[in-house]
Amino acid sequence: MKTKLSVLLVMCLFLVMLVAQGSGEKVDLKKVADKVTKAFNAHDAVAVASFYTEDAIMMGSGEPEPIKGRKAIEENQVAWYRAFPDVKIDTYRTLVSENYIVIEFSFKGTNSGPLKTPEGDLPATGRPVSVMGIMILKTTPEGLIAEDHTYYDTADFMKQLGLLK
């Protein structure tokens, strides 16, 4: 009886360990990157934001301070779509490792709506822009984005808009 109980306890412990570890399958971060890009190009701010953790942090060029939280990230996406209704990103290279995704991309669109800035909205310039950039995304084990560091040449961006000489 004591041996059967010991075996049962060991089996239960083993099962608990298996459940705690999950299936052992890793999330395909390349697929995550592709889905984020597809949602961005579909102008679906809700879908884009859904790839981020609730407390995610987004930092990058043109942002005076980090954007914090899924809702703020969604609002940021809406502002970009308002400023550039035809915006599209093309990816050239996607690299993944343990918990990082790095995407080299181009951002193309026409500034047909007000552009949100820390000093207030700028009226549309009607000018097209095309800039290269890089995204460095830190992910959770579940494949959600916890940190987003996106960089592009803001001076070139502003020149193309006619806002900087």
Can you tell me the distance from the alpha carbon of 128 to that of 152, in angstroms, rounded to the nearest whole number? 16
Can you tell me the distance from the alpha carbon of 103 to that of 93, in angstroms, rounded to the nearest whole number? 6
Kindly report the number of other CB atoms within 10 A of residue 28's CB atom. 12
Q: What is the count of structural domains for the chain?
A: 1
Reported confidence tier of residue 13, pLDDT bands at 50, 70, 90: very low
Q: Determine, yes or no, domain membership for 64.
A: yes
* Average confidence (pLDDT) over 126-141: 98
Q: Determine, yes or no, domain membership for 106.
A: yes
CA-based diameter of the chain, in Å?
86
CATH number of the domain within which 75 lies: 3.10.450.50
pLDDT tens for each residue of 85-114: 999 999 999 999 999 999 999 999 999 999
Q: Determine, yes or no, domain membership for 139.
A: yes
- The average confidence (pLDDT) of the chain is 88
Reported confidence tier of residue 24, pLDDT bands at 50, 70, 90: low
Can you tell me the distance from the alpha carbon of 117 to that of 143, in angstroms, rounded to the nearest whole number? 31
Tokens of 110: 């026409």
Torsion of Cα atoms, 108 then 39 then 141 then 62, to 10°: 40
Query: What's residue 25's pLDDT?
Result: 73
Q: Determine, yes or no, domain membership for 17.
A: no
Which residue range forms the structural domain that includes residue 77?
26-160
pLDDT tens for each residue of 116-129: 888 889 999 999 99
Least confident of 8-17, 53-62, 103-112, 138-147: 8-17
Closest by CA to 152, choosing from 129, 135, 127, 165, is 135
Kindly report the number of other CB atoms within 10 A of residue 117's CB atom. 13
